[in-house]
Structure 1
Amino acid sequence: MTMLRRRLGIRGENIAAEYLKRKGLQIIERNFKCRLGEIDIIAREGNYLVFVEVRTRSSASCGLPQESITAAKIKKLRRLAQVYLALRPYKNLDVRFDVVALYCAGETTITHIENAF
């Protein structure tokens, strides 16, 4: 990954975290990593533990940010969530997977897809 793409990704994750906080979600953890991969943001909203995948684009040439989430990525995120739940004491919460898609060309636009998969 190029440094420019990494910076864009970090910027997108920061914007997404602030957006979710403004919506009332409590950010529990960011960039949870294990040998399987990484979960961008883990938050709590009421009785839900929300696993958030953040996708950021600076150009529409490759389509919408949310369109880049493949079936393989969804499967990986579900496995990562299982690992996280085995390691953390959030046993009585429902689980939800959200996507926050950001398009950062000029003014940033945010699309939040709750219960995306």
Structure 2
Amino acid sequence: MSNKRSILGQKGEDLAAIYLQRNGYSILHRNYRLKTGEIDIIAQENTTTVFIEVKTRSSSVFGSPAAAVTPRKQTQISRVALEYLCRQNLMDSSARFDVVSVMIDYNSSPTIEIIKNAFDLSYH
């Protein structure tokens, strides 16, 4: 990943974390990594553990940020989420997958959208 894309992604994750907190989420982990993959943000909303993928774009040339969460990415996130739930002894608790879409236009304020229940557990 280029340095410019890395910086854009980090800025998007920072904006998403602030936005989520302002909307009632408690951030538990950021950039939770295992050998099988990474989850950008793990949060708690009420009694639900939420696994959040953040996608940031500076233009819509390549489609919406949320469209980049492909079935392959969903499977990867699901595997990490299952392992997290096992390790935390939370297999019987409520969990879901959200996507936060961040559009950063350097001529105006960022646009941030939360897509709750963006996809179902996928572990092919």
TM-score between both structures, scaled by the size of structure 1 = 0.95
Matching residue of 1:108: 110
Matching residue of 1:53: 53
Shift of 1:90: 3.1
**C-alpha distance in 2 between matches for 1:41 and 1:28:** 8
* Structure 2 residues not aligned, in runs of 5+: 120-124
Structure 1 runs of 4+ aligned residues shifted over 4 Å read none
Shift of 1:14: 0.5
Matching residue of 2:12: 12
Shift of 1:97: 0.3
Identity over the aligned pairs, expressed in percent?
43
The count of corresponding residues between Structure 1 and Structure 2 is 117
What secondary structure is seen at the aligned counterpart in 1 of 2:60? coil
TM-score between both structures, scaled by the size of structure 2 = 0.90
**C-alpha distance in 2 between matches for 1:91 and 1:41:** 18
Q: CA RMSD in A?
A: 1.0
- Residue type matched to 2:46 in 1? G
Matching residue of 1:21: 21
Matching residue of 1:40: 40
